[in-house]
Structure 1
């Protein structure tokens, strides 16, 4: 039996690159997304023997449960790794973004993660060495201006990761997250120019680099895995420094 991974948001960007990488290393990939055409193109590239596709809306609990159940039919009920990757981003001043967009960020980035975790638990529990990799963010270290709802959603993912790393340990399930700064994906490109932070901090990671970090996390799990040399240096400081100092640094980067 191959190792198995189920990836949400697998139709593009980080999710797609992660699917390609794991399939190339002999894993069976369950690829989930709302974009059926993108999933079909991925399966055509990877091959049906190495990939099942699942048109799935992470906000819809029934859709998520059905997607994971269909995946489990291909894997004898095994799920070695759940990668909660699906997410959206809307950048700008909080009051200038309508509430529908704020709500969508929370529903997809938080409720979507919770739906996948809840539905995946029986399959993870049934698999020796099972693991969860959630996609958090550098913005989970401290609230980021122009990213208020997104940052809040990633703080929630970080808290969920920490909570379940304790709750699920007795079941043999390791739970951790990745914390990248800006990644050069279509999602970030669509928001370019909406915050000075993009220019001041730079967009220095690509989807393949994050996919490689997913692989590293699968082999050497950590509770939190900060990405990029810049944020790996800052991460210990954000935890140890007074909040007022971290706030001042972020405020200056925002100007």
Structure 2
């Protein structure tokens, strides 16, 4: 993991609220922020927070699909922290893998939209009054490389992450003059429980290389590092994701489609 101690040090004592933080990327992110002096709120639908005992991390319940739960959780965290909100990380997410028409269902599709899209919208809306009161605050949405080009065998998940990309880009422009920075983090496949039992052509071809700690580092960087030259809204994580992201901007549509098919599908695709 890269060392960014000098950058983090300037932000000691600030607050961050993280959704979906009981395990995986959320847990790693909470731990990393806390290790650099932030007051951390780790909230989740799960109550498996044994790891947070004696860490100073504040934990609690959050159902990201319920607006009232968002309101209650943020109020609870900020009351306990006794400080204004400096950053919100919309991390909670779910997925299912497999052919859309075979392994999907109306119920699964609805669940993904509820958590991955509505959860991000509700989080942004609930946090806005607190972020707007604190100039220099940040919203980070955890997106995915699946938002670069539609991903076969993860069609619904990919669609939800396209939505997160749109939300991020729109709010980055809307909220800029209020001093709120809005960013997204875009990882490829990550070794967390969310991929347990999931095997697609993409995971087999490219492997599951990134760790939760890799993504946590990128989230913290997106939160605290100032833009020196050009505003960087999206933060791809890992070399392959960065190459995919960059190539999507310069490749013609037919080439992007063909390249993506070779990376994520074992089907015969013609140019």
Give the TM-score normalised by the residue count of structure 1: 0.94
Which residue does the alignment assign to 1:26?
37
Secondary structure at the counterpart of residue 235 of structure 2: strand
Measure the CA separation in 2 of the matches of 1:104 and 1:239.
31
User: Is the partner of 2:65 in helix, strand or coil?
Assistant: coil
Structure 2 SS opposite 1:5: strand
Equivalent residue for 1:210, pick from 204, 208, 215: 215
State the alpha-carbon separation in 2 of the partners of residues 235 and 116 from structure 1. 26
**1:135-174 equivalence runs, <5 A:** 135-174=142-181
| Residue 42 of structure 1: how far off its partner (Å) | 3.6
Distance 1:127 1:56 in 2: 23
8 Å CA contact retained: 1:9, 1:86: yes
Secondary structure of the corresponding residue to residue 69 of structure 1: helix
1:66-81 matches, within 5 Å, as 66-76=72-82, 78-81=84-87
Asked if 2 retains the 8 angstrom alpha-carbon contact of 1:72 and 1:123, the reply is no
Deviation per CA, 1:44-95, whole angstroms, max 9, x where unpaired? 0413xxx221211000111111101111212345111100000001001111
Q: 1:228 aligns with which of 225, 238, 241?
A: 238
CA distance in 2, matches of 1:16, 1:45: 15
Distance in 1 (alpha carbons) for counterparts of 2:81 and 2:127? 13
What is the match of residue 98 of structure 2? 92
Aligned to 2:8: none
Equivalences, count: 248
Structure with the higher fraction of residues in helix conformation: 1
Deviation at 1:219, TM superposition (A): 2.1
Out of 146-155 and 220-229, give the one that drifted further: 220-229
Output the TM-score relative to the length of structure 2: 0.88
In 2, distance between residues paired with 1:121 and 1:74? 19
| SS of the residue 1:78 aligns to | coil
Q: Does 1:105 align with 2:112?
A: yes
- Which residue of the other structure, out of 40, 51, 60, is the alignment partner of 1:54? 60
- Aligned to 1:10, the other structure's residue is in SS state coil
* Unpaired segments ≥5 residues, structure 2: 1-11, 227-231, 267-271
How far apart in 1 are the matches of 2:174 and 2:75? 23
Provide the residue aligned with 1:44 in structure 2.
Answer: 53
2:191 is paired with a residue of what secondary structure? coil
User: How far does residue 190 in structure 1 lie from its aligned partner after superposition?
Assistant: 2.7
Q: CA deviation at 1:98?
A: 1.2
Alignment partner of 1:3 out of 11, 14, 31: 14
Residues 113-135 of structure 1 deviation map (CA, whole Å, 9 limit, x = unaligned) = 11111000011111231001100
SS at match of 1:134: strand
Say whether 1:178 aligns with 2:189: no
Kindly report the root-mean-square deviation, in angstroms, between the aligned alpha carbons of the 2 structures.
Answer: 1.3
